């Protein structure tokens, strides 16, 4: 049998298996991440399922260890509560990438099986372990039964022949394999890699190559563990074990012989990991940012390689370099070896361990129009942000960060590439006659249905919560107005164009966010009436030409929800059209009126 067949057979009721067989497999390690973990819990609760063996069951929080996303924070807490109730160990936000933690903590070993909600669980092939990423239904079933069904895949053998070129790194080997096989030639196969050079691959190098099996379409890339890997796994598990090997007469559907001496440093162009070219074809492309980390290149060997380039050098002006180790143990080792100081001296930002930008939850995302060179494994559109992402080895990424453009370690220029300065423009311009006409036609009185909210100190988080602050289009803001104000969560759905919001003291206290004003404009609210405003909020509203009026007391108005108010901005007169009672509010100041008639500060 091949490696995959042996592992599956050893975990099933059969002595032998062959490609196409569908068998139940005992799973040694059953995990769920913060991404998908809450759904696993939901399935278990909805179907009233128990945990088969809590000692083999784990949560790993690696997608958003910074806690910067409210949804991730909620999901993590759901998982923590469930773990406490059922005696499940949590590898929390301080641990790092879950699949790396499995190897590091001895939860996976040569010949073992593991499942998790991470599509790169096949990284465990680096130690000769069968790891699989699965959906939350599969994981819930594995937690309950301890087994999952699996279809035995056909196997492919790749022999890497010849001497490994010095300038070629493990990431380059993965990118060269992607060049040879694309994204689907190996689709559905279990791949075993052999060769004299392969025998000398370090654990870190095996992890880098195995981690890109998903991008090649493979079920898994498996390595027979060498003595170094065996020693490491025995130390981490605390027990002696036999290495897993394919039989000499194992059947492979295909055998490929590749000359590793023909491999060269390569870069994946934006949009597709398999669209790889020699670095020379993209050399000189200006970059905005660089990233070193992910489950592919966040290992200690990668950190040392990056430090060897960055030591004594500076990241190019205007370029941002972000570094994220795969595990906290690696982070601590970077500290002990002085690498943290090298990174900081070079001008890099070093974050806590985790998946980083690949999971859209931590350091490493880029913005629209931004050009990034990254050690990640995926550069699909939108995967690591809205910009363009090139994939490369840690040394190419580090060299490019210093150069300010894509380059190799042996071709870092004496002076980095600079961003060209724009041509200067006139500071002011004449207002067109059409614009002048638009300015003078703004109404100075409004009438609208009243929303009477009898509360003081309604802050900007109640008005427009910080989870929406990434929104920049005013048209999109209205739908989130007051969704964090208890009792008014449906305000945005029920408000009508022209409505007037009436509140009490200190409206808009809190942060300086402009969105807390713009969301009302987005809904077409015609004015806000308050006894007083937060100082920043008042300025923001006036500068945005959004009408706010101050009153001293509403007692004589006999005001209720749904009444129609008329407000005169020039005189400050406030009239309840239900009973035609008026009170005196504060009229627009000369400055407020000028900005209002101008349509805003600009």
468 vs 157, more confident: 157
Element (H, E) at 302: helix 300-310
Residues 392-406: pLDDT tens digits? 999 999 999 999 999
Tokens 């550069």, residue? Answer: 379
Residues 376 and 503 in one domain: no
Residues 283 and 406 in one domain: yes
Cβ-Cβ contacts under 8 Å for 473 (sequence gap 6 or more) = none
pLDDT class of 432 with cuts at 50, 70, 90? low
Q: Which residues face 371 on adjacent strands?
A: 388
Kindly state the average pLDDT of the residues 399-427.
87
**Structure confidence at residue 363 (pLDDT):** 76
Which of 411, 442, 469 terminates a domain? The answer is 411
Which of 357, 377, 411 terminates a domain? The answer is 411
Report the C-alpha gap between 266 and 278 in whole angstroms.
4
Q: Is residue 271 part of a domain?
A: no
CATH code of 250's domain: 3.30.499.10
Q: Which of 572, 571, 554 is closest to 563 using CA atoms?
A: 554
Is the pLDDT at 362 greater than 80? The verdict is no
Q: Is residue 418 part of a domain?
A: no
Is the pLDDT at 439 greater than 60? The verdict is no
Cα distances from 597 to residues 403, 475, 543, in angstroms, run 50, 21, 11
Residues 440 and 543 in one domain: yes
203 phi/psi in degrees, rounded to 5: -60, -45
Count of structural domains within the chain: 3
Q: Which of 299, 168, 302 is closest to 232 using CA atoms?
A: 299
Range of the domain at 306: 278-411
Q: Euclidean distance between the first and final Cα of the chain, in Å?
A: 74
- Residue 599's SS3 state is coil
Residues 530 and 594 in one domain: yes
Is the pLDDT at 359 greater than 80? The verdict is no
Residues 24 and 137 in one domain: yes
pLDDT class of 355 with cuts at 50, 70, 90? confident
Q: Is residue 245 part of a domain?
A: yes
Residues 558-598: pLDDT tens digits? 999 999 999 999 999 999 999 999 999 999 999 999 999 99
Helices within 388-514 (DSSP H only): 394-403, 433-440, 460-463, 474-477, 491-494
**Quick one: angle between helices 590-598 and 433-440, nearest 10?**
130
Report the C-alpha gap between 298 and 414 in whole angstroms.
28
Centre a 10 Å sphere on the Cβ of residue 100 and count the other Cβ atoms it contains. 27
Residues 259-318: pLDDT tens digits? 999 999 999 999 889 999 999 999 999 999 999 999 899 999 999 999 999 999 999 999
Report the C-alpha gap between 113 and 90 in whole angstroms.
19
pLDDT class of 602 with cuts at 50, 70, 90? confident
Q: Is residue 426 part of a domain?
A: no
Residues 501 and 541 in one domain: yes
Which of 232, 262, 292 terminates a domain? The answer is 262
Cα distances from 26 to residues 40, 151, 238, 275, 351, in angstroms, run 19, 14, 22, 37, 37
The token duo for 413 is 């220029």
**Structure confidence at residue 86 (pLDDT):** 96
Residues 36-85: pLDDT tens digits? 889 999 999 999 999 999 999 999 988 877 767 777 888 889 999 999 99
Contact 94, 101 (CB under 8 A): no
Q: Is residue 425 part of a domain?
A: no
Is the pLDDT at 440 greater than 60? The verdict is no
Is the pLDDT at 111 greater than 60? The verdict is yes
Q: Which of the 8 DSSP states describes residue 279?
A: G
pLDDT class of 486 with cuts at 50, 70, 90? very high
Is the pLDDT at 339 greater than 60? The verdict is yes
The per-residue DSSP string of 398-424 comes to HHHHHHTBS--GGG--SS---PPPPPP
Is the pLDDT at 515 greater than 90? The verdict is yes
pLDDT class of 428 with cuts at 50, 70, 90? low
Exposure of 116 in the CB half-sphere (CA atoms within 13 A):
31
Residues 567 and 461 in one domain: yes
Kindly state the average pLDDT of the residues 210-225.
94
Q: Is residue 428 part of a domain?
A: no
- In degrees, rounded to 5, the angle at the alpha carbon of residue 472 between the alpha carbons of residues 469 and 473 is 130
Q: Is residue 122 part of a domain?
A: yes
**Structure confidence at residue 522 (pLDDT):** 96
Report the C-alpha gap between 101 and 98 in whole angstroms.
5
- Can you say whether residue 195 is alpha, beta or left, with left for phi > 0 and alpha for psi between -120 and 50 degrees? left
Centre a 10 Å sphere on the Cβ of residue 104 and count the other Cβ atoms it contains. 20
């Amino acid at each position: 049998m091949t490696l995959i067949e042996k592992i599956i057979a050893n975990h099933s009721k059969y002595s032998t298996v062959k490609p196409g067989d569908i068998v139940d497999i005992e799973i040694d390690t059953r995990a769920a991440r913060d991404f998908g973990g809450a759904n696993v819990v939901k399935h278990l609760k909805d179907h009233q399922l128990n945990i088969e063996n809590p000692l083999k069951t784990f949560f790993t929080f690696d997608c958003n260890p910074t806690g910067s996303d409210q949804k991730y924070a909620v999901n993590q807490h759901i998982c923590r509560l469930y773990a406490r109730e059922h005696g499940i160990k949590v590898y929390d936000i301080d641990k790092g990438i879950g699949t790396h933690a499995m190897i590091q903590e001895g939860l996976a070993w040569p010949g073992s099986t593991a499942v998790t909600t991470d599509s790169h669980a096949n990284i465990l092939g680096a130690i000769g372990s069968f790891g699989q990423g699965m959906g939350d239904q599969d994981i819930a079933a594995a937690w309950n039964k301890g087994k999952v069904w699996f279809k035995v895949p056909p196997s492919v053998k790749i022999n890497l022949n010849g001497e490994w070129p010095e300038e070629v790194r493990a990431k380059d080997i993965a990118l060269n394999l992607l060049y040879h096989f694309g994204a689907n030639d190996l689709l559905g196969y279990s791949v075993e890699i052999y060769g004299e050079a392969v025998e000398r691959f370090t654990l870190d190098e095996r992890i880098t190559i195995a981690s890109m099996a998903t991008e090649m379409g493979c079920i898994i890339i498996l390595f027979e563990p060498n003595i170094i890997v065996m020693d490491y796994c025995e130390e981490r598990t605390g027990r002696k074990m036999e290495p897993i090997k394919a039989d000499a007469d194992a059947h492979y559907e295909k055998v490929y012989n590749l000359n590793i001496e023909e491999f060269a440093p390569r870069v994946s162009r934006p949009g597709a990991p398999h669209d790889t070219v020699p670095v020379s074809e993209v050399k000189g492309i200006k970059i905005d940012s660089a990233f070193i980390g992910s489950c592919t290149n966040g290992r200690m060997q990668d950190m040392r390689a990056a430090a060897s380039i960055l030591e004594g050098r500076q990241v190019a002006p205007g370029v941002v370099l972000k570094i994220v180790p795969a595990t906290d143990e690696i982070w601590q080792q970077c500290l002990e070896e002085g690498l943290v100081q090298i990174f900081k001296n070079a001008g890099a930002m070093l974050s806590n361990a985790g998946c980083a930008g690949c999971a859209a939850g931590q350091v490493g995302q880029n913005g629209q129009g931004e050009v990034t060179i990254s050690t990640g494994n995926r550069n699909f559109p939108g995967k690591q942000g809205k910009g363009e992402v090139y994939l490369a080895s840690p040394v190419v990424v580090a060299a490019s960060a210093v150069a300010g453009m894509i380059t190799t370690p042996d071709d870092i220029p004496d002076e980095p590439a600079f961003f060209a300065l724009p041509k200067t423009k006139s500071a002011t311009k004449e207002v067109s006659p059409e614009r002048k006409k638009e300015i003078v036609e703004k109404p100075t009185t409004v009438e609208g249905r009243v929303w009477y909210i009898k509360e003081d100190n309604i802050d900007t988080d109640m008005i427009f919560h910080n989870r929406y602050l990434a929104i920049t289009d005013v048209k999109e803001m209205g739908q989130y107005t007051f969704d964090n104000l208890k009792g008014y969560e449906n305000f945005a759905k029920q408000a009508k164009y022209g409505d007037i919001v009436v509140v009490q003291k200190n409206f808009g206290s809190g942060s300086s966010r402009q969105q807390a004003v713009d969301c009302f404009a987005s809904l077409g609210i015609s004015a806000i009436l308050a006894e007083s405003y937060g100082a920043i909020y008042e300025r923001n509203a006036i500068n945005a030409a959004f009408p706010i009026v101050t009153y001293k007391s509403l007692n004589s108005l006999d005001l209720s929800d749904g009444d129609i108010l008329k407000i005169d901005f020039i005189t400050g007169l406030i009239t309840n059209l239900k009973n035609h009672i008026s009170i005196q509010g504060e009229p627009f100041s000369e400055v407020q009126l000028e900005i209002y008639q101008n349509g805003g500060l600009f």
